[in-house]
Amino acid sequence: MQQLSEDPAFTLDLAIIGSGPGGYEAALHAAKLGMKVCIIEKGALGGVCVNWGCIPTKALLRSAELFDQFKKSAFFGLDVEVSGINLAEAVKRSRNVALKMSKGVGFMLRRAGVEVRQGEAIFSTPHDLDIFRDGVCSETLRARHIIIASGAHSRTLPGLEPDGNRIITSREALALKSVPDSMIVVGGGAIGVEMAWFYAMAGTAVTLVEMMPRLLPLEDEEIAEALKRSLQKAGIRVATSAKLGNVTAEGDRVNALLVVEGDDAEPLSAEYLLVAVGVSGNCNGLALEHAGVEIARGFISTDTQCRTSVRHIFAIGDVRGGMLLAHKASAEALLAVQVIAGSNPPPLDDSMIPRCVYAEPSVASIGLSEKEAEERGYRVMVGRSMFASSGKANAYGNLEGLVKLVFNAVDRRLLGAHLLGYGAVELIGELTLARRLEVTADLLAATIHAHPTMSETIKEAAENARHE
C-alpha cells in the first residue's frame, strides 16, 4: 500500500500518542499497510501495561503462587522449608521482566520501520503535535491521522487521596521493598483483588473494602460470591457494602473507620492503604481543546469505530473508556487502523471480549452473566461443573471453583461462560472461541477433551446444561 497522503504538508500518515498495547499494535498494523508511522511516548515503551500493570503484576503474582505452593509442600509428600517472600528480590524480578518486554516492544517497532519520538505530545492544531522534552518543545509533527492511546491513571476518592507514602496506588504497591504487616485495600475490582491476594500470600494482614454489595460487581454473582469465600479462606478480611471514613496517615500507620452497611463504625489501622477504585483517561495535558476533541466523564468520546469528534483523530484503549483491558485496546488498534486505511470493519462486540482476574483461584469470563441474559429476555439454561470432581484438579490439589456456562435455551447457543479456579485464565480461550463461533451446548458436550485435564470441566458443564 502507498502512503495515504501525497500532500507534502503532512510529514506522517499516522502519529500515535502512547506505546501501550493499543499504541504499539496500531503502529505495527499501520506499518504493515505501508503507512509512515510515528509513536510519541513520554515514558518507557510498552506503556503502563508492560511497565507498571499487566506484566509486572503477573510476575509478582507468580512469586506469591509459588510461595503458597511451597507452604503446602508437605501435602505433596515434599520436605521443603521456606521462610517467606523476599519482596525486594520478587520486585526486582518483576522489574526485569517488565524491562525485557519493554525492550521487545522497541525491537518490534524498529524492525517494522516505525519512528519513535521520546517526549510529551501536545496538540497545537488538529493535525499538529508539539513534542516536549523537559518542558521545551523540541519538534512538531504534522500527521494526516492521529491515534490517541495515552492510557489512564488511577482514580481518587475524596479523603483517600494517595500521598505516595502510606496511602498508595497499585504503582507504589508494585515496588515496596518489604512485606508490610498490614494493608487496607479499597476497591474490589480486578486490581484490588489481585493486590489483596498477593500481599495476603506474602504474609500481610489484608482487609479488602468494596463499596458495592459484592466483589467484581460486573461479573456473574455466583462467581463473585465464590471468589469472596476463597479470599476469606486465604485469610483476607472482605467487607462489602462498605466504605472508609476519617482516613488519616500518621507516622508509619494509616487509621480509618470502616463503615459496613447495617453495622456500627469500626476503627481500622494498617501500615498501608492501597486505593484501587478504577481509573480515568489520560486526557489532561494533551491540549485536546486545540484539536476540538470532546471528552465525557473522564474519557475521550468516540463512535463505534474509535473515531473522535474530529474525523481524522481516533482514540483507543483505556483513554476511550469502556472495558479497561489490554487485549481490548489491541483489538481497537486494528479496528482504527482498518478505518484509516479505508475499510469499514464492524464495531467490537464487548460480549466477545474475555475478562480475567489473576488471583488464585483465578476468575475468567466472557459474554453474558446469567442475570444479564435473563434481563435481555433470553430463556436460559445453565450448566455447572465443580473442579472438586475433576481428576486433574484432585491430583494437583486445586479443588476450588467451578465452570458455569449460560446457554440460550431456544437454540442452545453459548451466551456466556464464567470460571473460578486454578488456571481459569488459560481455560477461557476455548470458551472465547466457542462464544465467537456460537457453539451449542450439544456441540461443546460432544467435543472430546483430553483426560485428565482441567478443561474436561468445560465439557462436563455443557453436559450438565443439556440435562438440566
Catalytic residue numbers, as ranges:
451
Q: Pick from 189, 176, 193, 184: which is nearest to 246 by CA? A: 184
Q: How far apart are the C-alpha atoms of 253 and 268, rounded to whole Å?
A: 10
Q: How far apart are CA 29 and CA 37, in angstroms?
A: 10
- Phi, psi (5° rounding) for residue 94? -65, -35
**Cis omega (within 30 of 0) for bond into 162:** no
CB < 8 Å & 24+ apart, contacts of 67-70: 67/201, 67/202, 68/201, 68/360
Give yes or no for a contact between 447 and 459, defined as CB atoms under 8 angstroms apart. Answer: yes
Of the candidates 450, 366, 377, the one whose C-alpha atom is nearest the C-alpha of residue 409 is: 377
Q: How open is the CA angle 414-417-421, to the nearest 5 degrees?
A: 150
392: left (phi over 0), alpha (psi -120 to 50) or beta: alpha
Whole-angstrom distance, CA of residue 33 vs CA of residue 11:
17
Query: What angle is formed at CA 242 by the lines to CA 238 and CA 243, rounded to 5 degrees?
Result: 115
Cell digits for 1? 500500500
**Element spanning 365, H or E:** strand 362-367
Q: What are the cell numbers at 467?
A: 440435562
- Answer for the pair 26, 336: CB distance below 8 angstroms, yes or no: yes
Alpha-carbon Rg for the chain in angstroms: 24
CB of 445 closer than 8 Å to CB of 459: yes
Helix (H, G, I), strand (E, B) or coil at 118: strand
Q: Which residues, 6+ apart, have CB-to-CB distance to 311 below 8 Å?
A: none
d(CA 337, CA 24): 12
DSSP of 255-320: EEEEEETTS--EEEEESEEEE---EEE--TTS-GGGTT--EETTEE---TTSB-SSTTEEE-GGGG
